[in-house]
Structure 1
Amino acid sequence: MYISEAALKRGKVSVGLVGTGYAAKLRAEALLNDRRSHLVAIVGHHPVKTADFAQEYECIVVNSWQELVTRDDLDVIFISTVNRDHGAIAKAALTHGKHVVIEYPLSLDVEEASEIVTLARSQNLLLHVEHIEILTGTHQALQKYLPELGQVFYVRYNTINPQHPAPRKWSYNHELFGFPMIAAVSRLHRLIDLFGEVLTVNCHYRFWQTEPDYYQSCFCVTQLNFHNGLLGQVIYGKGETLWQAERKFEVHGEKGGLIFEVNSGKLIHDGETISIDVGSRRGMFLKDTKMVLDCLFDGTPLYITPEQSLYTLKVADAARRSAETGLTAVVENRSQLILN
């Protein structure tokens, strides 16, 4: 991977940012705190909020993302906006010779995502899909203690977020947020990073909706059958029909188990229970941004490839197909995906 001679000479990459929400703020803070980056311009959906954002982070406002990606003074585009627009912005930015950093998912459409990965490779440009879930202390602890469990046969990952009332925002909108397992693809990616390829997927979901564009609740249960015989279950739910918040990750093996809830965990092994401190999830966007800049300037490999993210998106799309048809969906072989 490389950056332009001009960027190398000034020791900085010039950045354009799409979005003004939570993730965008964390990106802007990380970029401002790294001498190798200069946040030049942003674009947002709400004029007043965007103007305030630009003033706080010392950058200019651009009228549209279409205008942003064509600017000659930008090297990298960071995409931190509604899921619906991810694919279109990434494709346009790469077409105009920009490196791209994007929050998951890469696209709501798996074929478009595949085209984007191919485009980045052909242009020799950086395409990085953020998956900070595998940078967290929880994931590092999972990797460390898995060998203690012997043969793992079942894993369950639940994230349930009751909200009363549910907010009328993009993350409760079918078009802007997308199918739950595609929008929340990080849940699947954590399992795939730990346990490998998926053979088949079964998924069931339900929405509660009282107005056309926004729903009040969703509940989605996905079952993954891995090539190694492991059975995985991912539950994702949010909104007004849920009553108890939960963020729990369980791994069950023939010699022990791992259970993580929020910022703590425990290993149950050989008749004893050992507490595991996994630390805070704070600082992950800062870490991810630093790794991107390390990659651009020094060629340091990133912790995830676009092909790995694309494979997980294929699994999420299989969940969508299963939910819509009521049938078991087969997942494309990962090695074939990478070769293609």
Structure 2
Amino acid sequence: MLTPPAYPGLEAAYLDLLAHVTAGFEHRIAPRGNAAREVIGVAFRLPDPRQRLPYLAARKANPVFHFAEALWYLAGRCDLEMIGYYAPSMAASSRDGVTIEGSAYGHTLFTPAPGDDRSPFDRVLELLRRERDSKRGFLPVFAARELAIDDNPDVACLAGLHLLPRDGYLHMVCSMRANDLDGGLLSDVFSFTMIQEYAAVQLGLRLGSYTHYIGSAHVNDRDTERVNRVLAEAATRAAPQDFPFPSMPASTGPKTIARLLEHEQALRTDAVQYTAADIADLGVDPYWQQVLLLFEVYRQIQHEHTDRVGPDVLGALWPGLRWLAGRKWPACAHEQGDR
């Protein structure tokens, strides 16, 4: 088979890659002291990129961080202040304690270069509107100049994204120089497929397939215990959880992202506290209301240190997001069916 293997969702691809690299690794590596097992050159395809979340109790995927990172990218930001609230460990990737460089993929994609009035993303969309069968819609991220910085703590893992409109669908190919399969893979695919769907909405196209290529696919030794638990759960459960992910609204655009981040900042700084009814009255599409509900869940956990998140907020979440929240945070595990 010359095309990459296809999977119904990210979870199935994630499990296969974990099992493959854990049992059939090609190399033992330890760059910068990080011991890992590695396979060189792997790929997979998601015919339905919306199925971008894994529902595995042992993995405890964090839907709050996933949406926050996707919005951080879409807004073209590189500040540690926002993303560090959801992932404090990212401070280790900042050289100045204020900004992120290599991993701020959205800043590279969505921010105009000096002297330009359009971002690389906007330039590619302009090209694809003119030439629907173009092969040139490539968005590079990794730059060789990153290697010239001594002791750079944050070299981009993403080489680039390739947008390919074909027959009314927008397909995307992602090229990674490296992927930590237990950690980075999940957040990367979530965010990149959100960028793909956002691009499809801007172009008025249906969402096509997502293909993910990895140069160095690796599992870090420090994650071995969790990886074994995840694989054991997958092998012994009766059936996978089934929570279909809905479509991004056709009305989504830069103003949508800006408005969501205004609410995100207010919640992150504890300037507002929302009930589910408050969020329903904000004039935000129900799809994006789910993100604000998640941010309110996280606000209650971080600022109120509650042992029981408001049942109205949890009850308004889509079942899949509620399932994930209930396994990530004990304060969210009190909803019926989430014990």
What's the TM-score, normalizing by structure 1?
A: 0.24
Which of the two has greater strand per residue?
A: 1
